[in-house]
């Protein structure tokens, strides 16, 4: 889906779009459904955390 697919969103000014996105994000964060994450993405996250926390040693 694109912003241009929803006429009401397309007509919003930038500050209104930001508020809309914040509300949309909050609704996703508060939902009970889990968002699937690929194993490769989980592995990459683990690698980045490891590099971050061992970089200062």
CA of 32: how far to CAs of 22, 24, 39, in Å? 18, 15, 21
DSSP, res 56: T
Give per-residue pLDDT as tens, 11-27: 999 999 999 999 999 99
pLDDT at 24: 92
Domain ranges for the chain: 3-54
57 residues of the chain, pLDDT tens digit each: 888 888 999 999 999 999 999 999 999 888 877 888 999 999 999 999 999 988 776
Quote the CA–CA distance of 44 and 50 in Å, as a whole number: 10
């Amino acid at each position: 889906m694109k912003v241009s697919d929803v006429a009401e969103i397309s007509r919003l000014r930038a500050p209104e779009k930001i508020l809309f996105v914040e509300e949309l994000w909050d609704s996703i964060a508060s939902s009970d459904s889990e968002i699937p994450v690929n194993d490769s993405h989980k592995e990459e996250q683990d690698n980045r955390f490891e590099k971050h926390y061992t970089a200062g040693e």
